[in-house]
Amino acid sequence: MFTIGSKIDEVRIDGSLLKLRQDLESFQKIGLKAVELPVHGLDVILNGRLIQPQLDKILSVLKDFDFLYSIHSPNPVNLMDKKDAGLHADVLLASLEFARQVRAKIVVYHAGRYLPEEEFFAFPARGLSLKEKENLLEREALLLQAISGQYPDVTLAVENARPYLNQSPYTYGEFPEELKRQLVRVNRPNVKINLDFGHLYMTSLFHGYDLEAAVQSLGDFIAHTHIHDNFGGAVHHWEKQQTHQLPFGRGDSHMPVGRGNLPIGPILDILLPGYTGLLMMELRSRYFDDIQESKQNLEALITLL
């Protein structure tokens, strides 16, 4: 039996524990068994520190529910950061401590970016030398080793990345084989992969690799999933408005399962025989009322396997 869950949207709750409770109640009513909590939507980490009084309030909410939890660290966390990697490491450590206290076994971390999305406007895309990339990969690997070693009972799940027109490749996370090589370099039992289905589909089309072969290759490295739908079309980093992208099948849509062209069934067919992690839907907040539909569509795909 596979466990299906949904993320709590950080923008939707925006620090409100009342909204957190309301969304958890909604998830409970539709029969979800797992939830991904965004520390960056809960105001529980400030300037790299876990805020215990806020955490205590969150724990007071969570005690009324019986979900399995995973945690999403803040999106901008980047252990390749050139200005203050120490602060980024502190934020990730605080995310892991949050996970420990809410008894979550997974913390999602976005693969290190040579050039972070937050700086796309400030810097034109440029190719990095092999030496520059190697130095950044080594720095991230050392930090991942040190950080994961402090929380051996929590798995850090490194997420594969989406592509951007005119900026890719900005991270090794766009390429499944490079992501796998980085985890081999880290060589820690609790540093694995969060397979984002939508990102995988987009990068397979953008970079021209075989999606199903990539899933097969990643195999036992996959400890967590983000499941959502799209049509595969990459966009520029400044294109944010979903209503302008959807008519043309473009963007990292994070739609309900069944709305796009993503081959979710074939991915599950490869993944599920040996997979023991959560099937975590990651829909945009605009689709909150469609989470039940997405769950039902995902369940239908699983029954066909």
In tens, the pLDDT along 130-162 reads 899 999 999 999 999 999 999 999 999 999 999
Angstrom distance (rounded) from CA 219 to CA 274 = 9
Element (H, E) at 146: helix 130-150
How many Cα atoms occupy the beta-carbon half-sphere of 218 within 13 Å? 36
pTM: 0.96
**Mean predicted lDDT score pLDDT of the chain:** 96
Angstrom distance (rounded) from CA 124 to CA 269 = 40
The model's pLDDT over 152-205, given as tens digits with 9 standing for 90+, comes to 999 999 999 999 998 899 999 999 999 999 999 999 999 999 999 999 999 999
User: Domains of the chain, with CATH numbers?
Assistant: 4-303 (3.20.20.150)
User: For residue 50, what pLDDT is reported?
Assistant: 99
User: For residue 1, what pLDDT is reported?
Assistant: 76
Tokens of 29: 């009513």
SS3 sequence of 154-214: CEEEEECCCCCCCCCCCEHHHCHHHHHHHHHHHCCCCEEEEEEHHHHHHHHHHHCCCHHHH
| All residues at 6 or more sequence positions from 111 whose CB lies less than 8 Å from its CB, including other chains | 158, 159, 160, 161, 171, 172, 173, 179, 182
